[in-house]
């Protein structure tokens, strides 16, 4: 189990926020899957990640508006996770101040599902559970590990399941 508060923040190159990397799998320098908690402090563009699929959810704050060309998408806490092509690099506008967000990014072609955790973990080769109430990620590299539903009182959570 890794908690965001135990990970040193990394400042973004554009100065608009910072990231706490919870998982870079299988290795940090050549990850296939990356899970992080980000704090957005200022309006600005997302970084472009060609060949990457991104999943994004607002955990805390008033929310963001992401602009993909002429299309805008508003997200706040409690909204479904947004999945998009990492090459798109949307412009981001804060709706009322800084936000804390969950980012799940994976290489295109890797079969990854990010699901609301409303019951037992689906089968997968590798699996994780992110719980916003503790800002923590549990991860299992052994597909034989049995995972039950999130603990009572945990609130909203997400299963991250790698099938391939």
> Could you tell me the pTM of the whole model?
0.93
Residue with tokens 């099938």: 163
Are 99 and 123 part of one and the same domain? no
Are 103 and 117 part of one and the same domain? no
Residue 154's pLDDT is what? 67
Residue 124's pLDDT is what? 81
Are 56 and 90 part of one and the same domain? yes
Are 95 and 136 part of one and the same domain? no
- Give 49's pLDDT tier (boundaries 50, 70, 90): very high
Are 64 and 143 part of one and the same domain? no
Residue 13's pLDDT is what? 80
8-40 pLDDT, tens digit each:
999 988 888 999 999 998 888 899 999 999 999
First to last CA, the chain: 23
56-110 pLDDT, tens digit each:
999 999 999 999 988 999 999 999 999 999 999 999 999 999 999 999 999 999 9
Are 89 and 152 part of one and the same domain? no
Mean pLDDT of 109-130: 87
Domain of residue 142 covers 112-162
Domain count along the chain: 2
Are 96 and 120 part of one and the same domain? no
């Amino acid at each position: 189990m890794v908690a965001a508060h135990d990970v040193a923040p990394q400042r973004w190159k554009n100065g608009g926020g910072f990231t706490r990397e919870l998982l870079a799998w299988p290795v940090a320098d050549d990850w296939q899957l990356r899970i992080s908690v980000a704090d957005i402090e200022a309006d600005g563009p997302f970084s472009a990640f060609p060949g990457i699929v991104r999943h994004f959810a607002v955990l805390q704050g008033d929310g963001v508006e992401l602009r993909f060309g002429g299309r805008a998408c508003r997200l706040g806490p409690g909204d479904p996770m947004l999945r998009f092509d990492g090459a798109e690099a949307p412009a981001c506008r804060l709706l009322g101040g800084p936000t804390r967000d969950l980012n799940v990014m994976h290489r295109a072609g890797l079969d990854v599902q990010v699901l609301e955790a409303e019951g037992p973990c689906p089968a997968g080769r590798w699996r994780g559970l992110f719980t916003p109430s503790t800002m923590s990620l549990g991860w299992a590299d052994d597909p034989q590990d049995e995972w039950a539903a999130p603990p009572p009182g945990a609130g909203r959570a997400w299963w991250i399941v790698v099938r391939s």
